[in-house]
Structure 1
Amino acid sequence: MNRHSLYTEFSREEWAALRDHTPLPLTREEFESLKGLNDQIPFQEAEQIYHPITRLINLYVAASQQLYRTSAAFTGSREAKTPFIIGIAGSVAVGKSTAARLLQLLLSRWTNHRNVDLVTTDGFLHPNRILQERDLMKKKGFPESYDIKRLLQFLTEVKAGKPEVSAPVYSHLVYDVIPDQQQIVRNPDILIVEGINVLQVNKEARVFVSDFFDFSIYLDADERDIERWYIERFRMLRDSAFRDPQSYFHRYATLTEEQSVQTATQIWNEINAVNLRENILPSKGRARLLLQKGSNHEIRKVLLRK
């Protein structure tokens, strides 16, 4: 390891030791219910990897809360404390959703931050009609496909301590933002923001999404593994969600096994791989915590920014 690296590197075993005998308030049934499609991580992943993460974040939150109390005492402010915001980034199919749901549940079981909300940036994609008008349907997930101004406004209001803030809701079934449906965030102790774009920067912007984060995580893996996971997930969706007549991808339900692999590979190469290399991967170095996954979905290495 480079001793001058910006990160301190931990093996899986070294990181697991940081749990420090804190009880793990999680059942196998709860764990299985949180896992995403084709996310094959074992139960011990929660105990060895995610519980130490929640212990670390708990220390960050406690320090943040103490800083607020000290500052409030100094200024005489009576304003409510602002939520602690965590960003989770990484490629399509790398396991962000499972990680976010698992962290939400575990963090909510610490006594000093019971109220933990989770918002995905999918809801901040422009509706399909706008993407079609701008010829961006094949660039869905790229920076230009998001309503960044709306996302920044949402985070501004959350961080300002507004009692209620609404976020748009996205449906993966219909592959679009759902009109007139909102997720209401009510001044949580912690807000988790999950999405491929949360650590990206725009040279033309003065404010970035990550400016609102108190902690950030990037899920990393070899591109060949992510591609394989994406293709496996596509094949599983072909046999499940795609069979729903309301699904945007219903036309793929009749593909043969060979056609399914060919189609998924083409989508990966033309869209997801390009987005990963050009936009997502370059943002990795901005994360506070890097989780490097092996080919079997397990975290094999953890890197914490110094």
Structure 2
Amino acid sequence: MTSYFYHDILTSIIHKSTASKPIIIGICGNISVGKSTFAKTTVQQLKAAFPDKQIQTVCTDCFLYDNRYLKQNGLFDQKGSPVSYNKEKIGRFKEAVLKQIPIELQAYDHKKSDIDSTKAFTIAHPDIIVLEGLIVLQEPLRSLITKSIFLDANPEVVQEWYLKRCFDLKLDQKMDLEKEDFYAYAIQTWQSVDMPNYMANVEPVRSQADIVLNLDKRHEVQQIRLQSSYQIKRGNKHGIFDE
């Protein structure tokens, strides 16, 4: 993302910096669309702009039930859909944010594609939280958001990114599958699990985002749609991952 767009985001945040609760930037969109990378870049920009502020990132994957629970309860094929998230964990997180009290969360290991009970991190009195994930624009998280951004792209392009990520994570080797067999498995998972979840639970809430960024296959922003009173002064094409 270019500095122009971030400047406008930061300007909006500055106006809300006296709020009693943490400022929360919500980043939503399809699986593999680039939410984590976008969040990382956002945090870098925020830390540069506000060196005296405590800024933390939370991925909603840490609210998922672990794979063992999902399999035991017949939910593994619905992983990523709202039913696969632990509502009690989400509720405790929301309460901690609103009451400004520390809370420990278990990390999600994307290499293992599972909750890692041995890794935890603490959210403690942050000034700004960058919250990213599939369920950011759904309650009870939606009501926490100060400003929300939806990353949008052609599903066929996102499928390519999804497959690339699977191979980058060496999931074929971890599943002990030949590349051709894993490719077929990944396509089947995308078509039967991920896309139906996106169409049923993520795409419908796109209209609730303050800003929608339409990305092309190079992860460049081709269009910026404003869906709230938020204003951006410059409308040039931006590269979402530009330093």
Common topology (TM > 0.5): yes
| 2:109–2:115 contact (8 Å) kept in structure 1 | yes
Matches within 5 A, 1:56-205: 56-66=8-18, 68=19, 81-111=20-50, 114-162=53-101, 164-201=102-139
| 2:207–2:227 contact (8 Å) kept in structure 1 | no
Higher relative contact order, chain-length normalized (CA < 8 Å, sep 6+) = 2
Matches within 5 A, 1:273-288: 273-288=195-210
Tell me the equivalent position of 1:237. Answer: 169
- Residues 47-86 of structure 1 show CA distances to partners (whole Å, capped at 9, x for unaligned) of 2xxx2343223223222234x4xxxxxxxxxxxx421011
Tell me the equivalent position of 2:160. Answer: 228
Secondary structure in 2 aligned to 1:108? helix
Cα distance in 1 between the residues matched to 2:51 and 2:10 = 8
Secondary structure in 2 aligned to 1:89? strand
Of 193, 214, 220, the residue aligned with 1:292 is 214
Number of residues of Structure 1 aligned to a counterpart in Structure 2: 228
| 1:82–1:187 contact (8 Å) kept in structure 2 | no
- Residues 141-194 of structure 1 show CA distances to partners (whole Å, capped at 9, x for unaligned) of 1100001231132122113222x2222211123322122532111211110111
TM-score between both structures, scaled by the size of structure 1? 0.69
Return 5+ residue gaps in structure 2 as ranges. Answer: 229-243
| 2:22–2:129 contact (8 Å) kept in structure 1 | yes
Cα distance in 2 between the residues matched to 1:58 and 1:113 = 14
| 2:111–2:169 contact (8 Å) kept in structure 1 | no
Tell me the equivalent position of 1:5. Answer: none
Q: Cα offset for 1:242?
A: 5.0
Q: Cα offset for 1:300?
A: 0.7
More strand by share: 2
Cα distance in 2 between the residues matched to 1:236 and 1:177 = 19
TM-score between both structures, scaled by the size of structure 2? 0.86
1:261 aligns with 2:194: no
Aligned partner of 1:228: which letter?
E
Aligned partner of 1:57: which letter?
I
Alpha-carbon distance change, 229 to 114 in structure 1, aligned in 2, over 3 angstroms: same
Return 5+ residue gaps in structure 1 as ranges. Answer: 1-45, 69-80, 202-207, 244-249
Alpha-carbon distance change, 297 to 111 in structure 1, aligned in 2, over 3 angstroms: closer
Cα distance in 2 between the residues matched to 1:264 and 1:130 = 22
Tell me the equivalent position of 1:15. Answer: none
Cα distance in 2 between the residues matched to 1:115 and 1:132 = 37
- Percent identity at matched positions? 27
Aligned partner of 2:120: which letter?
Q
Q: Cα offset for 1:123?
A: 1.0
| 2:172–2:182 contact (8 Å) kept in structure 1 | no
Q: Cα offset for 1:236?
A: 3.1
Tell me the equivalent position of 1:52. Answer: 4
Alpha-carbon distance change, 65 to 295 in structure 1, aligned in 2, over 3 angstroms: closer
**Aligned alpha-carbon RMSD (Å):** 1.9
Q: Cα offset for 1:231?
A: 1.9
Matches within 5 A, 1:37-48: 46-47=1-2
Aligned partner of 2:24: which letter?
I
